[in-house]
């Protein structure tokens, strides 16, 4: 059945994934710029800094920058974030001394006033800058403490792209390869806030290999998530989820962003899992809840009319697979529009985002009257496009351990569909 209210669903059987090509650097891109230095007042000046500190311990590699990134906005970004969040030594003035950008290879080097500030800035690995996450690593010539060792600092809302070996590192395999980082992370966040996440990709094509490594902020979530995710049906595949390692291992993990040789080989085998067709005779009796991700954004849920149209679209589409008992699409809390200092605004935005995440805002929960209806909807909707986004879907039972709990989702009448 084609949804009629908004036309956001694509036709059944239509292309289920679109790979956006990675644009090459503009023709005539310039050679790497020489380092740009900033004095403690934040204006152009001499190199400054403490000459007794080894320069390599004060520098960080910043990867995945856009072509719009430059020396000034990178320095301003790190200065403002470190001061705003109290990361680093806290000494007066700006933490950044110099920035060197290489646009052709999409990376930069940022030099800080002290090795302590550089170490602290590694907590921003994965932070969003100009609509994309930054990859922050130690330079290759770094000879200090193990650069993959946990720093003990977590910036709320920032998910690191480097997952160090530890007892809480988790492996997930069997992922549909058309899913991107945001879609996979949204599924994993159902069990708690992520501390680090790395979707392993083919180095030549940039496409997902179908497996990833991740870690939660709360270590107690590790076993709960492993048990809840392992064997979960995701589209037409089954996930394989387990602890990735027990303690740190020597080998390839010394290379930034690379799993150990043993983990890589194991993950490669698991990523080759053949898609399995859904068997109607092997459906859990209580798996009546269809969870769909990557369907709606926060902006889609603010306007009442648009929200109601989306609800009607989803209910009508799902009813084609079986009777729908309940539908819940949590909405973001209404935010007050008033002036406040920039630091307070940033703190409020972070608090609002955390509240929205904990309330499952952006997820779609559909409870069918039968497990067969839910399974049919999973098979029909997973991978379909809604508003130009590929739907990520899975089945949940009444007792599935999720965050927030399902009884909270379905008890809150303020998010129920009419």
pLDDT for the residue 308: 92
pLDDT at position 314 over 90: yes
pLDDT at position 14 over 80: no
Counting Cβ atoms within 10 Å, is residue 203 exposed (0-12), middle (13-18) or buried (19+)?
A: exposed
Mean pLDDT confidence for 19-39: 43
Band of pLDDT at residue 232, cut at 50, 70 and 90:
confident
Band of pLDDT at residue 339, cut at 50, 70 and 90:
low
Q: Parallel, antiparallel, or unpaired for β 59-63 and 107-112? A: antiparallel
Domain ranges of the chain: 36-137, 170-271, 282-415
Mean pLDDT confidence for 286-306: 86
Torsion of CA 246, 252, 253, 256, to 10 degrees: -170
pLDDT for the residue 159: 87
CB 162 within 8 A of CB 148: yes
- Check if 36-137 and 170-271 are the same fold: yes
Higher pLDDT, 23 or 203: 203
Task: Decide which of 3.30.450.60, 3.40.50.10860, 1.10.10.2840, 3.30.70.330 is the CATH code for 170-271.
Answer: 3.30.70.330
Residue 386: enclosing H or E segment and its boundaries? strand 385-386
DSSP 71-109: HHHHHHHHHHHHHHHT-S---SS-SEEEEEEETTTTEEE
37-51, 336-350, 375-389: which is most confident: 375-389
pLDDT at position 318 over 70: yes
Band of pLDDT at residue 6, cut at 50, 70 and 90:
low
Cα separation of 41 and 377, whole Å? Answer: 59
Q: What's the CA angle centered on 128, arms 348 and 254, to 5 degrees?
A: 125
Band of pLDDT at residue 37, cut at 50, 70 and 90:
very low
Mean pLDDT confidence for 92-107: 92
Cα separation of 369 and 377, whole Å? Answer: 12
Domain 36-137 architecture: 2-Layer Sandwich (3.30)
pLDDT for the residue 286: 74
CB 209 within 8 A of CB 271: yes
- For domain 282-415, the CATH class is alpha beta
CB 57 within 8 A of CB 144: yes
- What mean pLDDT is reported for the chain? 74
pLDDT for the residue 344: 52
Residue indicated by tokens 């710029």: 33
Band of pLDDT at residue 18, cut at 50, 70 and 90:
very low
Cα separation of 222 and 192, whole Å? Answer: 9
Mean pLDDT confidence for 79-103: 88
Q: What percent of the chain has pLDDT over 90?
A: 19
The count of other CB atoms within 10 Å of the CB of residue 157 is: 15
Least confident of 259-268, 294-303, 308-317: 259-268
């Amino acid at each position: 059945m084609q949804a009629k209210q908004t036309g956001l669903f694509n036709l059944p059987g239509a292309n289920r994934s679109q790979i956006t090509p990675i644009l090459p650097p503009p023709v005539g891109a310039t050679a790497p710029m020489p380092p740009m230095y900033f004095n403690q007042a934040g204006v152009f000046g001499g190199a400054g800094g403490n000459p007794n500190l080894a320069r390599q311990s004060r520098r960080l590699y910043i990867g995945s920058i856009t072509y719009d990134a430059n020396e000034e906005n990178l320095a301003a970004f790190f200065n403002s974030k470190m001061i705003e969040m109290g990361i680093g030594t806290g000494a007066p003035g700006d933490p950044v001394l110099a920035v060197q950008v290489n646009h052709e290879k999409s990376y930069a080097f940022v030099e800080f006033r002290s090795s302590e500030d550089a170490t602290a800035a590694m907590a921003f690995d994965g932070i969003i800058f100009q609509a994309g996450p930054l990859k922050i690593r130690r330079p290759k010539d770094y000879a200090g403490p193990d650069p993959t060792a946990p720093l003990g600092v977590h910036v709320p809302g920032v998910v690191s792209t480097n997952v160090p070996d530890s007892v809480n590192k988790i492996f997930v395999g069997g992922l549909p390869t058309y899913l991107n980082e945001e879609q996979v992370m949204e599924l994993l966040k159902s069990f708690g806030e992520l501390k680090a996440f790395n979707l392993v990709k083919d180095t030549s094509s940039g496409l997902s290999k179908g497996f990833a490594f991740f870690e939660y902020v709360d270590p107690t979530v590790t076993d709960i998530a492993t048990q809840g995710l392992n064997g979960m049906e995701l589209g037409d595949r089954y996930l394989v989820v387990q602890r990735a390692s027990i303690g740190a291992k020597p080998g390839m993990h010394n290379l930034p962003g690379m799993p150990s040789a043993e983990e890589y080989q194991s993950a490669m085998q698991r990523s080759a899992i053949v898609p399995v067709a859904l068997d109607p005779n092997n459906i859990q009796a209580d798996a009546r809840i269809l969870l769909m991700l990557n369907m709606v954004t926060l902006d889609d849920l603010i306007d009442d009319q648009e929200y109601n149209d989306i609800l009607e679209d989803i209910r009508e589409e799902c009813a084609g697979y079986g009777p729908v008992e309940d539908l819940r699409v949590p909405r973001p809390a209404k935010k007050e529009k008033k002036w406040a200092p920039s630091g307070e605004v940033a703190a409020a935005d972070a608090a609002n985002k955390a509240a929205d995440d904990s309330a499952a805002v952006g997820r779609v929960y559909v409870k069918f009257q039968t497990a067969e209806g839910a399974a049919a909807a999973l098979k029909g909707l997973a991978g379909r496009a809604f508003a130009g986004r590929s739907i990520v879907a899975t089945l949940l039972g009444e007792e599935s351990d999720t965050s927030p709990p399902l009884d909270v989702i379905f008890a809150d009448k303020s998010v129920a569909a009419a």
